[in-house]
Structure 1
Amino acid sequence: MKVREKKMAEAAERSSMFDVAIAGGGYVGLSLALALKKADTTMAVVVIDPKPMDVLGKDPRASAIAAAASRMLDQLGIWSNIKDKAQPVNEMIVTDSKLRDVVRPVFLTFGGEAADGEPFAHMMPNGVMLPALYEAAKALGVVFEAPDSASTFRTTPDQVEIDLASGDTVCARLLVAADGVRSKLRDLAGIRTNHWDYGQSGIVTTVKHERPHNGRAEEHFLPAGPFAILPLTGNRSSLVWTERTLDAKRLVESDDFTFELELERRFGHHLGKVELDGPRNAYPLGLTLARDFIKPRFALAGDAAHGIHPIAGQGLNMGFKDVAALAEVLVEARRLGQDVGAYDVLERYQRWRRFDAFQMGVVTDVLNRLFSNDNDVLRAARDFGLGLVERMPSLKSRFIKEAAGFAGPAPKLLSGEPI
């Protein structure tokens, strides 16, 4: 045995051995851990995250949960406990205008049902969803190494050895990197990405308003980028406000009066007086697509594999698609007596998810470039296109199906079926 492999074998004897180690305790990492344990309670799963898990309930953001994703959360046993905190999206409107325009004509409307009695999406507070995923995973026996982080890793034909910042070592058959768009582990694995920066930032905050939104979501295409108003429970809405990066920085750092003044110019007066109801933060926007989703005994999931523009609201739901596909591949492989970290097993996951992620990345990139500008010729062309879609019910139904997460061959969990 080579000296390096001998040292790794000795380290494995001193460390914990798992079937799957997941780096990242966000919605992707937690839901993957829960999905694996829910389908196979004998599978040994560990989640590694640099933050303590008791801060999950303090996340002030909210996420759009597509109908397919809510079906998955139902299969994972948490939807019934959290759905009363979710706001169904009953309708969506799309406008296109300049900031100074007094009237914003509605070019496109969507009904809110993917199926009878099933809204195509819900808005869910992260501070509700993340703790529910954590508690359910912990109850099934998922091990948590938190706060801690994976500093480096090495692979052999049989396992992956993960060195933690604390000095501990974890060994597993497979390491899944769900550590975000700036994934350190992706770089350590030698996976290259296609990336470009849009020069935009997304301002995320929550507001309260006088009048009820009636479950209506709004997306206003403005020259600097889309301004999305997403309904929350009560007379509150979550905002995803795209601005050029320097302007976003200025707005986030401004006083409340200045910020609310600029907010009112974009939000309008149709819901009455609007006030801030939470912190405001800005996140840089770009497109990041991993060229490979796998390496030997290593897989990417969520934003580590694909970071896209929020213009279509599909970032989180793409992560849930990764979870459903990867969990199904790993569980079925284990039932057949296969090694969950074997390359041919991981290739099934890559074939299932890489093209879809690339396709969605291209779509959001084209939409952002088409709508985030002040070109009158492009505005006339895109408004004509929106109006055409509005008059074609079959095409609108297809878009609703896509937004609900039902387009293409869906993993079992996203179809509401157990693995």
Structure 2
Amino acid sequence: MVKQADLIIAGGGFAGLGLAVALKVELGGGFDIVVVDPVLGGTPSRDARASAIAAGARRFFERLGVWGEVASESQPILDMVITDSRLDDPIRPSFLSFGGDVEPGEPFGHMVENRLLLDALVKRAAALGVELRGQGASVSRYRREDEEITAILPSGEDITARLLVAADGGRSRLREQAGIAMHGWDYGQSGIVTTVEHELDHEGRAEEHFLPAGPFAILPLTGRRSSLVWTEKTAEAQRIIGLDEAGFHAELEKRFGLKLGELRAVGPRAAFPLAMRIARSFVADRLALVGDAAHIIHPIAGQGLNLGIRDAAALSECVTDAAGLGLDIGAPDVLERYQRWRRFDTVSMGMATDGLNRLFSNDNDAIRLVRDFGLGLVERFPAAKRFFIREATGLTGTVPRLMQ
């Protein structure tokens, strides 16, 4: 069996679904898109994590008609405080704070639970006529045929299109088949992710405590809840998530403190190994990589998901412009435009997060002195703070139309 489509997306995460919805919004019902992911189906998402959505990504979701579905359950990040201390320090002084809006009335970020945003994307994609293949379906491999590319499903069905998009995660099988190498390294760290409830209101404040083992980020959720991204050496992270409730609470309280009153972990605990990996190329013959298939970076600045959204917005614009002119959407010049647009930005952000992690994940007194002096300088210069905020929101450089 062979199905003909205009574009195939392997992977139904934020980047894959975001790209599908963006193209439907831009090109209308006559553009045939198939999204294939084994987890797509009739049941709601069970992803218990939460993500920081930068202002640029929020604008993208708003343009797609998705943000309205989650806006009431999103938490604006109204300000952010950065500290640098040892675990047993009795006081954690604030060296740097960020506050204010990107534009009047527009916070620089929001926290949203992943399941809510994923479900909203699936609902919007279905309403726009995107064909969603789930319940075990996947793109196991592909083959090239003249001016087309064919996705091969385990069921025996083939789907042929002008362009195949690999949005199938950090272990992308399509990237491997294309022979595209990933360059980078492991950090020997893992990120512990969970949700906590606390007695007092966080007032929309995010905090990043730089501890010798790595950053401990407290990110506000709706109600008196916060999402934690807690970096430790891998062996220590495994030990911590294996503790009983009392032991885990003791480790949590040492890092979180009691500034928000009594607290307790209410979400599942998980630990994810941290690495820096960037694909040697973001494109191959009629194949484009987006999201984690193209890059994995340290979560120290909360930019991983936002980079993937920028990929989706940029590739959507490249494809939309080509289709509007009646050109081949999978042609080398279309894909090279996407690669030039996204790869430099990704490498720059990857190296920045790597440098921050190496600078702060240590307990060297001389390095601590230098970095704290640097944080203090930034705190004293509002223009420098505004620059870093604009960088983090994804609103610098060539911004895709759907993020403007």
TM-score (norm 2): 0.98
For 1:96 and 1:244, locate their aligned partners in 2 and report how far apart those are by CA, in whole Å.
Answer: 18
Report the AA paired with residue 68 of structure 1.
G
CA distance in 1, matches of 2:148, 2:214: 46
Whole-angstrom distance in 2 between the partners of 1:35 and 1:282: 32
Q: CA deviation at 1:405?
A: 1.6
SS of alignment partner, residue 88 of structure 2: coil
Among 310, 330, 335, the alignment partner of 1:346 is 335
Corresponding letter in the other structure for 2:184: H
Counterparts of residues 75-86 of structure 1 (less than 5 Å): 75-86=63-74
Please give the residue correspondences for 1:11-410 in structure 2 after superposition, counting only pairs within 5 Å.
14-41=1-28, 42-147=30-135, 148-410=137-399
Q: Indicate the SS of the match to 1:53.
A: coil
Q: What TM-score does the superposition give when structure 1 sets the normalisation length?
A: 0.95
Change in CA separation of 1:100 and 1:55 when aligned onto 2, cut-off 3 Å = farther
> Equivalents in 1 of 2:238, 2:157: separation in Å?
39
Q: Mark the runs of 5 or more structure 2 residues left unpaired by the alignment.
A: none
Change (3 A) 1:39 1:249: same
Q: CA RMSD in A?
A: 0.9
Task: Find the aligned partners of 1:320 and 1:22 in 2 and give their Cα distance.
Answer: 14
Report if the CA contact (8 A) 1:159-1:171 is conserved: yes
User: What are the superposed Cα offsets for residues 166-218 of structure 1, whole Å, 9 maximum, x if unpaired?
Assistant: 22211111110011112111111111111200000000110000000000000
Shift of residue 393, structure 1, vs aligned partner? 0.7
Indicate how the Cα distance of structure 1 residues 259 and 61 shifts in structure 2: closer, same or farther if over 3 A, else same. Answer: same
- For 2:5, the aligned partner's letter is F
The Cα offsets for residues 310-365 of structure 1, whole Å up to 9 and x where unpaired, read as: 00111111111001100000011001010111111111100100100000010011
Distance in structure 2 (CA, Å) of the matches to 1:249 and 1:164: 36
Counterpart residue type for residue 388 of structure 1:
L
After TM superposition, give the deviation of residue 161 of structure 1 in Å: 1.1
Asked whether the 8 Å contact 2:210–2:361 carries over to 1, the reply is: yes
Distance 2:209 2:148 in 1: 49
Deviations 1:97-131 (A, max 9, x none): 00010100100000141111110000011111001
Could you tell which deviates more after superposition, 188-197 or 157-166?
157-166
Contact 2:55 2:394 in 1 (8 A): yes
Offset at 1:165? 1.9
SS at match of 2:24: helix
Rounded Cα–Cα distance in structure 2 between residues aligned with 1:20 and 1:43: 8
* Residues 96 and 104, structure 1, Cα contact 8 Å, conserved in 2: yes
Q: Name the stretch that deviates more: 108-117 or 48-57.
A: 48-57
Moved more, 285-294 or 245-254: 245-254
Unaligned stretches of 5+ in structure 1? 1-13
Counterpart residue identity of residue 337, structure 2: R
Q: Secondary structure at the match of 2:5?
A: strand
Q: Secondary structure at the match of 1:22?
A: strand
Count how many residue pairs are aligned between Structure 1 and Structure 2. 402
Percent identity of the aligned residues? Answer: 56
- Mapped partners of 2:176, 2:45: distance in 1: 30
2: CA distance, partners of 1:180 / 1:17 = 25
Give how far 1:252 is off: 1.2
Question: After superposition, what is the alpha-carbon deviation per residue over 1:351-391, rounded to whole angstroms, capped at 9, x for unaligned?
Answer: 10010000001001111011001111111110010001000
Are 2:40 and 2:132, in contact at CA under 8 Å, matched by a contact in 1? no
SS at match of 1:243: strand
Shift of 1:56: 4.4
Per-residue deviation, 1:55: 4.5
- Structure 2 SS opposite 1:202: strand
Partner Cα distance (2:235, 2:88) in 1: 20
Are the equivalent residues in 2 in contact too, given 1:208–1:236 (CA < 8 A)?
yes
In 1: Cα distance, 2:273 partner to 2:300 partner: 13
CA distance in 2, matches of 1:77, 1:290: 31
Indicate how the Cα distance of structure 1 residues 56 and 377 shifts in structure 2: closer, same or farther if over 3 A, else same: farther
- Determine if contact 1:92/1:112 at 8 Å carries over to the other structure: no
Q: Is the 8 A contact 2:7 2:161 kept in 1?
A: yes
